[in-house]
Amino acid sequence: MTTEGIILIDAWELPEDRIDESVARWRERVGLIHTAPGFRSARLHRRLSRKSRLGLVNVAHWDDIEARDRALSHPGFVASAATAAGYATVHGGWYHVAAEVRSTRVGSGEGSGITVIEAVQLPAERVDEAVSRWLGRAESMSDLPGHQDNRLHRAVDADTRFQLVGIARWDSLEAWGAANDDPRLRQRLPDFPDFAAVDTAAFQVVAEF
């Protein structure tokens, strides 16, 4: 075990009419294991727009992979997880925090807030280059009204679908939208490299332990 621990991120593709059921099942499953040794925290994020490809994103923090594997042997967890197999595609992986940028403005962190998640597909051998680009983008946005913080998660395994996952918190959907519509910001934002495919969407935390 390390002080940093390790982060599990599961990104779900699923029909809109199955999301409520999936949220309830997630609460049921995590409720069974959140007192297990090695569990630190878990948050479930739900998309704010039906246009977003990813419907749910689970972010769970554990001491280590072995602790999570032991917890998942709970028979109730196994039975509940099996119910999603017929209607959801889940892209999961283990991650470490590769970079973090916090707001430079006083007063950020007001309101219930939203979470903006960037799920990035790219060749594992190009990750270092993409991290550098991400840092440039994140630092450019750190002084904008409503920005709270942004963390970049890097996959442990080279075969994980999303090699990078950025998770940013904003005061509101309006603040994030205003930042994206600012032409001055677009001029100074470094583009993601052509070899990266990025799914970006706004989410709201709907459950946590």
Q: What is the pLDDT of residues 43-61, one digit of tens each?
A: 999 999 999 999 999 999 9
- 172-181 pLDDT, tens digit each: 999 999 988 8
- Same-domain pairing of 106 and 171: yes
- How far apart CA 130 and CA 146 sit, in angstroms, is 25
Asked if 75 and 120 sit in the same domain, the reply is no
Q: How far apart are CA 118 and CA 163, in angstroms?
A: 11
Residue 191 belongs to some domain of the structure: yes
Give yes or no: residues 59 and 74 share one domain: yes
Do both 104 and 184 map to the same domain?
yes
At 150-201, the pLDDT tens digits run 999 999 999 999 999 999 999 999 999 998 887 766 665 556 667 889 999 9
Residue 208 within a domain: no
Tokens of 120: 């990035």
User: What span, in angstroms and rounded, lies between the C-alpha atoms of 60 and 66?
Assistant: 14
CATH number, domain of 116, equals: 3.30.70.100
Cα distance between residue 130 and residue 124, in whole Å:
10
